[in-house]
């Protein structure tokens, strides 16, 4: 037994001289003890090696057990210390407060005079619903998450298709066949783990629209059909929530903030009726240049940040139209209609 102890001391000394880590030295000694135990179990009684190493495996097994208990105890202490000294982002924070990592992440916002710390706090406390996780929803969702919006809901009943990937940049080739809301949620959580992402895998319908919209402060509509647009608009007007709406056609896009609660028109003030079939073909029918949804969807995200923080002048009562083919943009004024069936004065009376 003395021989084994001498060998263990020699291993420790050699390891120390070579600058080996302490853990590696302990591992070498553990291998030596295991070899002694194996020799005691395999070699016959009276064997010189068994005699020189104690003649029985029992004391070595007890030594190994004691060593294992000590190792477990030390590992437990390390784990407890790690929990006690965990980085602040791993602990729960009151709503509206920031970790050091978040402050660094949003530093470019905070130094903006129009946003600042108060504006960033408003973003963190904001609840934004995005209707549609397609061409317009993709960039809008990513920039809302990156900007630090605290709660982001996304509703869509569609699945990712290969034909989407030419413009719907939040989705990847590996997500083909996955529900769009879950694909989008994965990307947003990877981009900003502090954001609360809420996917709704269903179509917006009359039965649920009012309750869903009422749970958010602001709604972005990136859908491509007029039935859903009118439905979302009606729910926003009824709840008094601003609606940021974007639309695309081939090379042209438009964006506006519809907000009757602040004396701006609603969507139906500007578009009283859906166009006749064939007059407003979808992207699938008419086509759309790939980067255009990125431009318009990003504009929608910018308007959302402005509405939430109060920075600048949002596009209330105005529509921004961007022509990508000729590199031109223009704004047109919009007015409320007293006879609007959704927000008009006659309806309110």
- The sign of the dihedral angle between the CA atoms of 165, 171, 177, 179 is negative
The CA distance from 60 to 46, in Å, is: 18
pLDDT tens, position by position, 5-16: 667 667 656 666
Structure tokens at 12: 């420790």
- Give the model's confidence band at 96: pLDDT under 50 very low, under 70 low, under 90 confident, else very high: low
Residue predicted with more confidence, 73 or 305: 305
Sign of CA dihedral 18, 24, 30, 36: negative
Let me know: does 209 contact 232? Beta carbons within 8 Å: yes
User: What is the rounded CA–CA span in Å between residue 229 and residue 258?
Assistant: 12
**Structure confidence at residue 62 (pLDDT):** 76
Measured distance CA(173)–CA(99) in Å, rounded: 34
pLDDT at residue 22 above 80? no
Share of the chain above pLDDT 70, in %: 82
Residue 92 pLDDT class (50, 70, 90 cuts): very low
pLDDT single digits (tens) 197-219: 999 999 999 888 999 999 999 99
Structure-block tokens of residue 17: 């001289």
Residues 322-340 have a mean pLDDT of 94
pLDDT at 51: 73
Please state the domain extents for the chain: 2-85, 126-348
Distances, alpha carbon 345 to alpha carbons 247, 293, 330, 348, in Å: 27, 35, 30, 5
Per-position DSSP letters for 235-248, written without gaps between them:
HHHHHT--EEEEEE
**pLDDT tens string 284-320:** 777 899 999 999 999 999 999 999 999 999 999 999 9
Stronger pLDDT, 183 or 51, i.e. the higher one: 183
What is the reported pLDDT for 35?
76
pLDDT given for residue 286 in this prediction: 78
**pLDDT at position 85 over 50:** no
Pairwise CA distance, residues 240 & 258, whole Å: 11
Q: Please check the confidence at residue 334 and state whether its pLDDT lies above 50.
A: yes
CATH architecture of 126-348: 3-Layer(aba) Sandwich (3.40)
Distant-in-sequence, close-in-space partners of 154: CB < 8 Å, separation ≥ 6:
129, 130, 133, 137, 141, 181, 184, 185, 197, 198, 199, 200
What average pLDDT is seen over the chain? 85
Instruction: Give the three-state DSSP class for 328.
Output: strand
Q: What is the mean pLDDT of residues 26-55?
A: 72
Asked whether the predicted pLDDT for residue 256 surpasses 90, the reply is yes
DSSP single-letter state for residue 222: -
Which has the minimum average pLDDT: 145-159, 231-245, 274-288? 274-288
146-194 pLDDT per residue, tens:
999 999 999 999 999 999 999 999 999 999 999 999 999 999 999 999 9
Checking if the pLDDT of 91 tops 60, the result is: no
Helix (H/G/I), strand (E/B), else coil: 256: strand
């Amino acid at each position: 037994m003395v021989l084994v102890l001498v060998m263990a001391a020699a291993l420790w000394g050699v390891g120390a001289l070579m600058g080996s880590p302490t853990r590696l030295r302990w591992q070498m000694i553990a291998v030596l003890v295991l070899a002694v135990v194996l020799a005691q179990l395999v070699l016959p009684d009276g064997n010189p090696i068994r005699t020189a190493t104690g003649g029985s495996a029992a004391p070595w097994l007890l030594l190994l057990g004691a060593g294992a208990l000590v190792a477990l105890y030390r590992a437990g202490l390390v784990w407890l210390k790690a929990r006690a000294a965990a980085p602040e982002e791993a602990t729960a924070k009151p709503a509206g407060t920031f970790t050091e990592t978040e402050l660094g992440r949003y530093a470019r916002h905070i130094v903006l005079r129009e946003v600042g710390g108060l504006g960033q706090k408003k973003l963190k406390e904001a609840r934004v619903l995005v209707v549609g996780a397609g061409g317009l929803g993709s960039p809008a969702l990513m920039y809302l998450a990156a900007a630090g919006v605290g709660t982001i809901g996304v509703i869509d009943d569609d699945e990712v298709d290969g034909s989407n990937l030419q413009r719907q940049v939040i989705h990847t080739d590996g997500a083909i066949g996955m529900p769009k809301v879950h694909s989008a949620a994965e990307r947003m959580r990877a981009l900003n783990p502090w954001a609360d992402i809420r996917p709704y895998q269903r179509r917006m319908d009359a039965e649920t629209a009012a309750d869903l919209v009422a749970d958010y402060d602001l709604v972005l509509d990136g859908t491509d059909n007029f039935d859903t647009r009118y439905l979302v608009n009606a729910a926003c007007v009824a709840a008094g929530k601003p609606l940021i709406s974007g639309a695309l056609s081939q090379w042209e896009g438009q964006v506006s903030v519809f907000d009757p609660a602040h004396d701006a028109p609603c969507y139906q003030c500007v578009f009283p009726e859906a166009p006749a079939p064939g007059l407003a073909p979808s992207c699938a029918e008419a086509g759309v240049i790939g980067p255009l949804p990125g431009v318009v969807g990003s504009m929608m995200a910018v308007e959302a940040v402005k509405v939430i923080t109060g920075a600048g002048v949002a596009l209330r009562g105005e529509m921004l139209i961007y022509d990508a083919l000729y590199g031109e943009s223009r704004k047109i004024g919009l007015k409320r209609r007293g006879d609007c069936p959704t927000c008009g004065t006659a309806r309110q009376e």
